[in-house]
């Protein structure tokens, strides 16, 4: 086989998703589900940590974030930061408290109320990544 054929047989790189959630058990469940679905997952426990990861120019393909988190940057602040610094990066938000209209007005790609069906979230992540490609 030639080099071109060898490359065609290699699997495509997994999309890298930044999961931002302050509740440890929820973050672990979401991250595990996304990994099982084939995504590469980077975890952040709050918006401040997510901003640090994004500021370091980590190669992130999509952000899945909670809205209410402790620290100086909540999910809406994170969304605002992303829209300023990486305007085309898909951001999917989740909350048990926020109205979806507020998330969409800030530029969210999609919104899921908590608790969410993680299989539906996976489909939304794939759709957002496909639309961004």
- Whether 4 is covered by a domain: the verdict is no
- Whether 119 is covered by a domain: the verdict is yes
Please write the tens of the pLDDT for every residue from 70-100: 999 999 999 999 999 999 999 999 998 877 7
- Whether 118 is covered by a domain: the verdict is yes
Q: Is the dihedral of CA 86, 91, 96, 101 positive or negative?
A: positive
DSSP letter assigned to residue 117: -
pLDDT tops 80 at residue 60: yes
Looking at the structure of the chain, the number of domains it has is: 1
Among the listed residues 77, 72, 71, 82, the one whose alpha carbon sits nearest the alpha carbon of residue 109? 82
CATH of the domain at 30: 3.40.50.2300
Of 53-67, 87-101, 111-125, the range with the lowest mean pLDDT is: 87-101
- Whether 77 is covered by a domain: the verdict is yes
Structural domain of residue 65, as residue ranges?
14-132
pTM, two decimals, is 0.87
Please write the tens of the pLDDT for every residue from 5-19: 344 433 446 899 999
pLDDT at 13: 67
């Amino acid at each position: 086989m030639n080099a071109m054929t060898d490359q065609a047989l290699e699997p495509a790189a997994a999309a890298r998703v930044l999961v931002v959630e302050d509740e440890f058990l929820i973050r672990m469940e979401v991250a595990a589900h996304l990994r099982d679905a084939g995504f590469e997952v980077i975890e952040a426990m709050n918006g401040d940590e997510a901003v640090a990861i994004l500021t370091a120019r980590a190669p992130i393909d999509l952000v899945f974030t909670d809205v209410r988190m402790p620290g100086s940057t909540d999910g809406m602040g994170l969304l605002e930061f992303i829209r300023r610094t990486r305007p085309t990066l898909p951001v999917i938000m989740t909350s048990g408290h926020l109205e979806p209209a507020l998330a969409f007005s800030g530029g969210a790609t999609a919104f899921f109320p908590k608790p969410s069906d993680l299989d539906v979230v996976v489909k939304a992540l794939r759709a957002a990544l496909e639309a961004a490609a």
